[in-house]
Homo-oligomer: A and B are copies of this chain.
Amino acid sequence: MTNVDTDVALVMAVIRPEKLADTKQALANAGAPSLTVTDVSGRGSQPVMTEQWRGEEYTVDLHQKVKVECVVADAPVDDVVDAIREAAHTGESGDGKIFVLPVADAVQIRTGDSGTDAV
């Protein structure tokens, strides 16, 4: 049914919201300006944190993050991953992750183009 075409990949990154602007710029510089952004929340492997609010202790187990998705064909995936990794990095816990998923096909709705031309 689908024929996995490894020339196209979805680079999905979960990053700090305050790093979105730099990440968009870095992606454009890497030749991959197209992207989709989703507000998400999440947690990594660090222990749950306890915070204070109006004198009450409560547990923060999900942190606001931003998901950035870029489907790339022309730009090398490694360059796109490196661009995000550098732009989103602070060195503190919670910087996020980048995942690369195979994409079997792509279609540009306006033109009907498919495959690598559509990305």
Please list the residues of chain A having a beta carbon within 8 angstroms of any beta carbon in chain B: 1-4, 6-10, 13-15, 24, 33-45, 61-62, 65, 67, 71, 76-77, 81, 84-85, 88-110, 112, 118-119
Contacts and interface: CB of A to CB of B under 8 A. Distances in A.
Contact of A42 (B6, B9, B36, B45): B36
- List the number of copies, as a whole number: 3
A100 B103 contact: yes
A99 to B, nearest CB: 5
Contacts of A44: 34
A48 to B, nearest CB: 9
A4 B6 contact: yes
Nearest to A34: B44
